[in-house]
A and B are shown apart, each in its own frame.
Chain A
Amino acid sequence: MSYLPKSPWLVHYDASSCNGCDIEVLACLTPLYDVERFGVLNIGNPKHADIFVVTGSVNEQNKSVIQNIYNQMAEPKVVVAIGACATSGGIFRECYNVQGGVDKVIPVDVYVPGCAARPEAIIDGVVQALGVLEEKYKNMGKVAK
């Protein structure tokens, strides 16, 4: 077992979110939910982060930004798409400039539905991501050998 599930650090990127989901992500840090109880830090730096949390849908403007952040993260890393927009494009799906969910540009490991996703659902998504993170860590060892 590694220490990854005990100290997950997040980097949160607001793609073209309406800000609804962002507020809910930030709500997880407030005294009511306090995710730091589980060692979660909103670190704000892709090079230090283990979990990439994306809200909002992908468009031409933010496509390269999402890919750039993802590529800068050190292995093992997981991606959590939060809200209807990040999972599928949501209500903006039909817009001329929207390409769809985050999985159009980077591999997504956990989808958290909701518009806006509730803090409980977000925390549950991050906890599921920890399982994936541990799995990836084990496989990372195998590839290296």
Chain B
Amino acid sequence: MSGMNSWIAVILYIVLAPIIGGLIAGVDRKISARMQGRFGPPLLQPFYDVFKLMSKQNIVVNKHQKFYVLCFLIFVIITGCIFFSGGDLLLAIFALTLGSVFLIIAAYSTYSPYAYIGAEREMLQMMAYEPMVILTIVGMYMVTKSFNVLDIFTYNQPLIYTLPGIFLGFLFILTIKFRKSPFDISMSHHAHQEIVRGVITEFSGKELAYVEIAHWYENVFLLGIVCLFFATNWAIAIALAAVTYLLEIFIDNNNSRLKWQSTLGSAWIVALILGVGNIAFLALR
């Protein structure tokens, strides 16, 4: 993308992503409630929650904690900026990983046993999904011969035709990234869990709001990657990303939480069979 256009994309992302992400979270809660036979909260509930958290007293356990949480938010935003301005996909993914590392450090800095276990599980989750993320990028490179998001997006044929295995593998780890059951081991969007609220146990007020906003940005970015698989037509790509998210909500409501061993094991097996399988197929073609 030319200089001017990419700046417009960055500004649009920074302004629109939290609005879209928050609405997605609202739809998520509403649909989940309907699946459970409940009426559910208003569509704008996630925004009310975040605005409320902003007005609460701020309790910090460790004075550095705030800095780490802020870094988490900033790096997640940078990830999306790189991606939506058509930049380097590899760089985007590494910025996201760096953001997650800051969240883990923030949890560790609180010296809370619940946050500790949450942070440990968060790291295990990262180990579970990272191989498949890298295979996804490798697969995209093998087809399009570029790590550049814009080149991948404007490739003359939707990637799903050549990367069906990688797409399914990516869907699998998307459940981990969205923090949905059965893989919501480090923190859950549903309130009750055996480690209280895992990584975010010790964050309150504004910091919790930042974590929530970071998730909205992150979800929009992840759905952006889903769109890449169906590129060439924006409308179809967005429609299929929506279908993907509905599928995740369905999975979330029909599964109970797994142990971390099963999460790690199943994610690696999926990466090995679907991811490596697809890449081997491409290489031998």
Contacts and interface: CB of A to CB of B under 8 A. Distances in A.
Q: Which of A43, A44, A47, A137 has the most CB of B within 10 A?
A: A47
B38 A34 contact: yes
Contacts of A41: 191
A103 interface: no
A30 to B, nearest CB: 8
B191 A47 contact: no
A6 B59 contact: no
Contact of A3 (B29, B41, B55): B55
A20 B203 CA distance: 33
Contact of B56 (A38, A39, A45, A76): A76
Contact of A34 (B39, B45, B191): B39
Interface string B161-204: 00000000000000000000000000000011100110001111
A94 B55 CA distance: 42
A7 interface: yes
Interface in A29-44: 31, 34, 36-39, 41-44
Contacts of B55: 2-4, 137
A77 B33 CA distance: 27
Contact of A43 (B29, B41, B59, B191): B191
Interface stretch (B2-10, B46-54, B85-93, B226-234): B46-54
B57 A75 contact: yes
Contact of A74 (B36, B49, B192, B204): B204
Q: Interface SS of chain A: helix, strand, loop or mixed? A: loop
Interface residues on B, range: 20 to 34
A36 B41 contact: yes
A74 B208 CA distance: 12
B45 A39 contact: yes
A3 B51 contact: yes
Contact of A47 (B36, B49, B193, B204): B204
A37 B41 contact: yes
A140 interface: yes
B40 A3 contact: no
Nearest to A31: B37
A44 B197 contact: yes
Interface string B13-38: 00000000000000001000100111
B256 interface: no
A47 B202 CA distance: 7
Contacts of B196: 44-45
B42 interface: yes
Nearest to B46: A7
Contacts of A72: 59
Contact of A42 (B29, B42, B191, B201): B191
A133 to B, nearest CB: 10
B113 to A, nearest CB: 13
27 contacts: A2-B52, A2-B55, A3-B49, A3-B51, A3-B52, A4-B52, A7-B45, A7-B48, A7-B52, A31-B36, A34-B33, A34-B38, A34-B39, A37-B39, A39-B41, A39-B42, A42-B191, A43-B191, A44-B193, A44-B197, A45-B191, A45-B197, A50-B52, A72-B59, A74-B59, A75-B56, A76-B56
Interface of A: 2-4, 6-7, 9, 31, 34, 36-39, 41-45, 47-48, 50, 72, 74-76, 137, 140
